[in-house]
Amino acid sequence: MRPLTLTRAAGLNRLRSRFVNSSARGYMTILHPPKFENEKLLSYAKGSPERTELSETIQKMKNEFPSTIPIKVKGAELETKQSRSQVNPYRHKDIVANYALATPDQVNIAVDAALKAKPSWEATPFEDRAAIFLRACELITGKYRSEMVAATMLGQGKNIWQAEIDAPAETVDFFRYHVQEAWALYSQQPKVHPDGNWNKLEYRPLEGFAYAIAPFNFTALGATLVGPAALLGNVVIWKPPDSALHASWLLHKILLEAGLPKDVIQFLPGDAEEVTNTILKRPEFSALTFIGSTATFKGIQKKIGDGIGQGVYNSYPRVVGETGGKNWGVVHSSADVRSAALNTIRAAFEYQGQKCSANSCVYVAELETSKIMTTVTPVIHERSFDKLNDFIEAARTDSELELITGGKASKEKGYYVHPTIYKTSNPRHDIMKRELFGPILGVYVYPDAEWEETLKLIDTTSRYGLTGSIYARDPYASRQALTALKHAAGMLYLNTKCTGSTVAQQPFGGSRDSGTNDKTGTMAHLQRYLRELEEQVTRSAASGRYAVSARAGHHVQPPLMGSEAVGFSPAPSATPYLPPDDQQTAGWQTAADDSPIRNPGRRVDTDERQEYHDSEFSKNPLVDKEEWTFAATPDGRYWYMGPSSSWSFCRRVLALLGKRVPESNSPPDPWHLDGMAFKLQWKQVSLEESPDVTNLPPLDYALFLYNAAKYYLASLSFLIDETLYLQELHEFYRDPAAKAASRRSWFAQYLLVLAFGKASITQRNPSGSPAGHQYASRAMALLPDLSGIHEDPLTSIQALSLAALYFQSIDMRKAAFQHIGQALRCCIIEGIHRHVPEELGGLELSQRCRTVFWVVYMLDREFSALMGGPNSIRDEDITVRLPAEVASTVENTDLTLHVRLARLMAQILTTVYGVDSASKGALIRDIQSILHALADLSHDITEFLDNSFHGMVGRGSKMAVRLMLAQHHCVVLTTRPLVMCALNMHIDSAERQPSQSICLSSPVASLLQCCADSAQTILQTLRSLADDDLMDAFLPFQVEHASSAALVLYLIRSIAPSLITNESWCDNLDCVIEKLTAKGNIAAPLRKLELKHLDLMLTPLTPRSANRTMPPITSDDIQDNNDDTYALDQVDIGDEVEWDLLALNHSVSLPPRELLDLADQLDVDSIMHSMEA
């Protein structure tokens, strides 16, 4: 499946999920927004391009000052007689902008225009709204970055670094994070659906409009006020701050350029009190989002309360406010004083103290004198300057304040207040509880013995609760402070400054008089701008149909799935499951209620058709059909057809086609049993005989082969303890005969490593035998029998496991299954499936046992699925810790994810392919369970790949590709029984009425689409590896992935060709199989013959448009798989290898959201009603 991601183009093409039902297409759109990352900050170093560009932009902006900011509604300017000016705080005689002041009438015009735009904006799909904000991010960080920084510097008196963090970085962080969190919020649905009902939540914007009052100190805060509400479908009246108008106007213009409809966000400068009073009289007022002073917020909140009491509003308005703060710091006697002093100074004086979280009072056990090395920048406007200057003047005569540094202010040129520190003798002095919002810091020195009393003092002195810092290295003191001050701050910081909040890392907001604590950067904040509509889909007792009821009397669309079925026609014009407008041109139609699908015969009742459909997909035919459990070869011997085995699946399909489709006129099944590709032979070496140490490579070549084997084995190479192996390797070459005789299991392991290394680096052997097989034969002759394993159990387990992997690689599946089973039983006998205590043999032995067990476990689960056998050990009996739980290295995390995939494989075997599950007829439920589990795992795998391997060269690529291929293989394995069910239906339909198309319910059609997509992704990924000569040709996994993917694609192409949009997978398959064959894979020629055989037998069932001409199969092909038919010219490999396999033009990772949505669909479709009865 391909994850749906937003493009960087202006706007976004409508993304339609394959799971969209035509009757509710807008509700099932699946969007996976880009992974959130904080914006990277530019350095602006001297001589850097960004500094040069910024200097030019500042100069150009100064030359164009003052700018004019009008009142614009519906794209037209409104005339106004009143205006004001924004000045440059650095030089207040310089006017930055002249801006119009909206009158009350103009405010009402703007509100009316916004409400008129609301229906269209509310109906706009979320992904289209999200695309506008993400496009704005591209403009802010690209085209307008230097302009945003310059506008913030000149308008708000910030330096380069402060403006870079504020204007571009934090603004786009908020926009991007809101998109991600909104997507996650929309995805949240009820988990419980009792009595066959289906409960769901619909998220809708508020009924009227939102009003946003932005603060003067940060450009980004305007974005975080208007962005969430508008993103969620609301219209917003934006009252920008007078002292940040220029930057705010620029941001609004960027949003319009990004595609925001012109009346969705009304940019309305004006007198704050006049605009607000006009807004609060409107009955459509639905939400206030505010950042500013506590007094102003309380006044507005009172007016809203009065309006509610007078019945002014259509609904209770939502109120979100972040207000004042008296942010404190407390320094314990155990603190690192230097660090505490530095962080306190930065928190107090950066941004001239005009940051919501700025530190303005500190309690210290002892005062450490420190020089203040900080660049003085102006405060933002004259009102701030006057308030701060008045405090400094009053402090000159205040006996309770001692000036430590600063105490100077001047507005001769700009609004400059020097960083100022006062020490107070009164812990409840005004400086310790009054918000000053500037570069003034109050310090109170408390006796060391009064730590607990000081904590109580901090908690009770100030009425605010925004941020606070605790500096203490004593863990007990830290815990005391965190407990005592839990209500004194909405954000607590330990041993760092209290101004470090970063979007998506530390949600921002406080309580008490600091606001409503609706923290920005959280999903809870977004919910303040939404209404949640509860809907319940109930099933009528009489008809079994679903009906929808909604709370609060809202109009509700039809259910997403209902009992609608999808008809797939074998006709050339068949198309995939499309929305209604696309169906008309495609000649495709759905089967709903009693409507026939191109059926000239009798009218088929919907319930009858549904009952037949449900029964066909209720059980796994690979488990339930006893007639296919055993099959006879031409020599009369019967073979067990393991239900999960791809080899058995092919045999079952060929047998079914041979019996039910006689017109296929195909040669008999070639079978290709164990040993037909190559049969490894050896003669056991007894304990009395000395192992043969002749004809071995020199040490340097042996080291080369070891490293080759290690590379190709990837995570499986953890089976070999590298340090110990290399140590014994050097010992062996000093005295080969003695070492081989005394360490027979290690010597067998050494020979198998040589065999793997040689086979991995050598192209196809003309004789047809794998390169290095002589080493493997000698190793098998040395493997201990059941009585001799316990003399060196761990090395024996390693050797047996390598032997099993080698057998699987040469298509000797039975020998592989037996050897890995023996290795696993040895693990159980030795107890290493439980944690081996370090006290028994040391840390290294405990770690080695843990790693060896998990690799054996992985191979056992894999080979059990390939053989079609049950699980050999229950997960409940395993207590050894996962590697990542011990140390979170890349290698340990990779191994852990492989183990989790192996556990999922075990779950697939016990549910989808379990005998007990088959008897209960719960196939769909079992698949749903697996999809939920796979979605959780895919989330962790995607996160691991994104964090560890994107853009990396080397060790990342093979780890990443194997994880991704394994995910998709799990999807194919899980959904393959449904392909078999559909094949049976297709054959039945063709026998009854050749022109009759099969009828598949929407979830089953979606599951088949899911299967086809994963299968195509597997082949595309392998094709990319083949093109760059990066395939693991000798190992068994990639040929298994390719053949199992091809099997289901051939069948789906015959059953429902519209699910496969093009034939590129055929070319990919040919390339992959030929490449594997050329590089010496033993099984590839056999799988190629089987697939050609299957393709030929499916011809009568496959629409002509879906057929691709295949080379004919001859009897010679079947008899001799080593014929020159498989000769391949040398493949051309380009000079440059595409190492970044995550950057392919197709998806190689599974989007967890799609899997969850698909799994959740299976809860509601009528396919379940017969099983619930």
Catalytic (active site) residue 356? yes
Q: Give how far Cα 537 sits from Cα of 202, 533, 540, 1159, Å.
A: 13, 13, 10, 17
Instruction: Please say whether the beta carbons of 285 and 108 come within 8 A.
Output: no
Residue 923 domain-assigned? no
Distance CA 855, CA 839 (A): 23
pLDDT digits (tens, 9 = 90+) for 30-84: 457 778 888 888 888 888 899 899 999 999 999 998 989 988 887 788 878 888 9
Asked if residue 365 and residue 311 are part of one domain, the reply reads no
Residue 442 domain-assigned? yes
CA angle in degrees (0–180, nearest 5) for 1126-1095-767: 20
Distance CA 942, CA 946 (A): 6
Asked if residue 779 and residue 695 are part of one domain, the reply reads yes
Instruction: Please say whether the beta carbons of 23 and 564 come within 8 A.
Output: yes
CA 1139 from centroid of its chain's CA atoms: 22
**Axis crossing angle, helix 744-761 with helix 699-713, rounded to the nearest 10:** 70
Of the candidates 39, 181, 356, 361, the residue annotated as catalytic is: 356
The H-or-E segment that residue 359 falls in is strand 359-364
Domain finish residue from 856, 881, 906: 881
Half-sphere exposure in the Cβ direction for 112 (13 Å, CA): 6
Identify the pLDDT of residue 2.
32
Asked if residue 434 and residue 412 are part of one domain, the reply reads yes
Residue 571: pLDDT over 80: no
Distance CA 429, CA 399 (A): 11
Asked if residue 272 and residue 338 are part of one domain, the reply reads no
Residue 1068 domain-assigned? no
Assigned token pair, 912? 């989808």
pLDDT digits (tens, 9 = 90+) for 1003-1037: 788 888 889 999 999 999 999 898 888 888 899 99
Predicted model pTM? 0.51
Reported as a pLDDT band with limits 50, 70 and 90, residue 1106 is low
Residue 371: pLDDT over 50: no
Identify the pLDDT of residue 506.
66
Asked if residue 354 and residue 216 are part of one domain, the reply reads no
Interval 979-992 mean pLDDT:
81
Reported as a pLDDT band with limits 50, 70 and 90, residue 1056 is confident
Nearest to 787 by CA among 750, 742, 833, 822: 822
Catalytic (active site) residue 849? no
Give me the residues paired with residue 549 across strands: 536
228-242, 567-581, 624-638, 1050-1064: which is most confident: 228-242
Of the candidates 39, 170, 322, 1154, the residue annotated as catalytic is: 322
Identify the pLDDT of residue 1146.
38
Asked if residue 314 and residue 227 are part of one domain, the reply reads yes
**For 413-417, 1080-1084, 1135-1139, which range has the lowest pLDDT when averaged over its residues?**
1135-1139
Asked if residue 482 and residue 387 are part of one domain, the reply reads yes
From start to end of 268-339, where are the E strands? 285-291, 318-322, 327-331
pLDDT digits (tens, 9 = 90+) for 239-278: 998 888 889 999 999 999 999 999 999 999 999 899 999 9
Q: Give how far Cα 622 sits from Cα of 22, 640, 648, 1052, 1162, Å.
A: 33, 12, 9, 17, 21
- Mean residue pLDDT of the chain comes to 78
DSSP string, 467-530: EEEEE-S-HHHHHHHHHHTTTT-SEEEESS-TT---TTTS-B--EETTB----BTSHHHHHTTE
Distance CA 437, CA 451 (A): 27
Give me the torsion for CA of 848, 854, 860, 866, rounded to 10°: -130
CATH number of the domain to which 126 belongs: 3.40.605.10
Residues 6+ apart with CB under 8 A from 836: 845, 846, 849, 850, 880
Question: In whole angstroms, how large is the CA radius of gyration of the chain?
Answer: 36
Distance CA 948, CA 916 (A): 40
Residue 453 domain-assigned? yes
Q: Which amino acid is at 265?
A: I
Asked if residue 284 and residue 384 are part of one domain, the reply reads no
Residue 1078 domain-assigned? no
Distance CA 1077, CA 1086 (A): 10
Asked if residue 344 and residue 237 are part of one domain, the reply reads no
What is the DSSP code (8-state) at residue 280? T
DSSP string, 862-882: HHHHHHT---SS-GGG--SPP
Residue 523 domain-assigned? no
Asked if residue 340 and residue 231 are part of one domain, the reply reads no
Asked if residue 432 and residue 468 are part of one domain, the reply reads yes
**Axis crossing angle, helix 126-141 with helix 171-186, rounded to the nearest 10:** 160
Assigned token pair, 1115? 């009897």
Residues 6+ apart with CB under 8 A from 451: 332, 333, 365, 477, 480
Domain finish residue from 858, 881, 904: 881
For residue 424, the enclosing domain spans 327-504
Asked if residue 252 and residue 146 are part of one domain, the reply reads yes
Assigned token pair, 763? 């192209």
Residue 961 domain-assigned? no
DSSP string, 574-626: ---S--HHHHHHHT---B-TT--SS--SPPPPHHHHHHHHHHHTSS-HHHH-G
Distance CA 1158, CA 536 (A): 19
Domain finish residue from 504, 521, 552: 504
Q: Give how far Cα 299 sits from Cα of 324, 630, 1007, Å.
A: 14, 82, 57
Identify the pLDDT of residue 58.
92
H/E/C letters for each residue in 1039-1094? Answer: HHHHHHHHHHHHHHHHHCHHHCCCCHHHHHHHHHHHHHHHCCCCCHHHHHHHHHHH
CATH number of the domain to which 430 belongs: 3.40.309.10
The count of structural domains within the chain is 3
Distance CA 396, CA 411 (A): 19
Reported as a pLDDT band with limits 50, 70 and 90, residue 625 is low
Residue 593 domain-assigned? no
Residues 6+ apart with CB under 8 A from 1096: 664, 666, 1110, 1113
pLDDT digits (tens, 9 = 90+) for 937-973: 888 888 888 777 654 433 346 888 888 899 999 999 9
Cβ–Cβ contacts within 10 Å for residue 255, how many? 25
Distance CA 356, CA 139 (A): 27
Instruction: Please say whether the beta carbons of 345 and 311 come within 8 A.
Output: no
